[in-house]
């Protein structure tokens, strides 16, 4: 089965959205989440330079220094750390500048995995990859990869740089990677990491047909990526999925994680908890292997 990674995108904000810088989990809560993850054996942390306006990296760095622990750290580059819409992208000079900021905030000499957060149509791909390759050859980063990319980007990138990690959204409610990217990564030996395993809380069962979303939920704070799920067929699938989880004696989040972790093409799954107890389903899923047939039956509960 795949492994678990602690997603730190809610530390001091909600992802890279400037409107939420300073919100999300505060530093004390972030430390509690990192403590809990480490004690559960989760020793890989995922962040980005712009998460929380730099707070996520900074708090991870403080936690590393205070605890003397060294998880595998993945961070990303593209968005502005200060929320400046003009300060973004993947030009060579910007990448080389941004990586220094990440190293300083994290308080480390080497980033284990460095990803582009999304493609930059305004910068030639070869320029971006030359910068990443330079960091790799200098030992500044241990591996390079990409998030939110499609097959065309990957095929072009692999012709000029050793991309070894892909991180894309993947869940029972987002099966897009199965079309091209996931098979390609499997064939090429590229490590595929799934983020969004619970589809913004939809696979937790927190959103009910005909009812307003719970206060403070993702659908009240940043609903845009999930508006298409407010659909009768999705609610039907969620009800059937809840029954399937009950039959196995687990909750819906545990079964959703198990579905991902049981895919041999998935190297890791990013769990982004809001509270330490939210890690329990992800860890429980490690003990719930599913056969290919079981995975197919669960997938069939939802519309494609």
Strand spans (E) along the chain: 3-7, 44-46, 72-77, 111-116, 141-147, 163-169, 191-195, 266-271
**Options 51, 114, 170, 207, the catalytic residue:** 51
| CB-based contact 252:205 (threshold 8 Å) | yes
Residue 269, strand partner residues: 4, 194
Select from 175, 178, 173, 176 the least CA-distant residue to 230. 173
| CB-based contact 229:173 (threshold 8 Å) | yes
Phi, psi for residue 116 in degrees, rounded to 5: -75, 140
- The 10 Å Cβ neighbour count of residue 245 is 20
Cα dihedral across residues 214, 218, 220, 226: positive or negative:
negative
User: Which ranges constitute the DSSP H helices of 43-85?
Assistant: 55-67
Residue 293 burial by Cβ neighbours in a 10 Å radius (0-12, 13-18, 19+): exposed
Task: Round to whole Å and give the CA distance between 182 and 193.
Answer: 10
| CB-based contact 65:104 (threshold 8 Å) | no
Residue 51 falls in the annotated catalytic set = yes
Total number of residues shown for the chain: 304
Tokens at 30, concatenated: 């972030």
Radius of gyration over alpha carbons of the chain, in Å? 19
Active site residue ranges? 51
């Amino acid at each position: 089965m795949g492994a678990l990674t602690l997603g730190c995108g809610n530390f001091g904000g909600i992802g890279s959205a400037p409107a939420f810088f300073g919100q999300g989990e505060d530093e004390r809560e972030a430390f509690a989440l990192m403590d809990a993850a480490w004690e559960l054996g989760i020793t890989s942390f995922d962040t980005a330079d712009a998460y929380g306006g730099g707070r996520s990296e900074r708090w991870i760095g403080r936690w590393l220094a205070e605890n003397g622990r060294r998880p595998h750290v993945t961070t990303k580059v593209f968005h502005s750390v200060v929320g400046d819409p003009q300060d973004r992208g993947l030009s060579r000079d910007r990448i080389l500048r941004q990586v220094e900021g990440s190293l300083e905030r994290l308080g480390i000499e080497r980033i284990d995995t460095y990803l582009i957060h999304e493609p930059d149509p305004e910068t030639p791909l070869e320029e971006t990859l030359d910068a990443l390759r330079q960091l790799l050859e200098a030992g500044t980063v241990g591996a390079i990869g990409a998030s939110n990319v499609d097959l065309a980007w990957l095929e072009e990138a692999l012709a000029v740089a050793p991309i070894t990690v892909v991180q894309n959204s993947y869940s029972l409610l987002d099966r897009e990677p199965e079309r091209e990217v996931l098979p390609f990564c499997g064939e090429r030996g590229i490590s595929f990491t799934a983020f969004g395993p619970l589809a913004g809380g939809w696979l937790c069962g927190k959103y009910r047909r005909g009812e307003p979303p719970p206060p403070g939920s993702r659908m009240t704070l940043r609903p845009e990526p999930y508006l298409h799920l407010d659909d009768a067929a999705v609610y039907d699938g969620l009800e059937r999925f809840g029954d399937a989880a009950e039959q196995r004696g687990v909750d819906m989040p545990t079964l959703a994680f198990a579905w991902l972790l049981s895919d041999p093409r998935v190297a890791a799954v990013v769990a982004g908890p809001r509270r330490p107890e939210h890690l329990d389903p992800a860890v429980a899923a490690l003990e719930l292997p599913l056969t290919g047939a079981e995975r197919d039956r669960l997938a069939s509960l939802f519309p494609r």
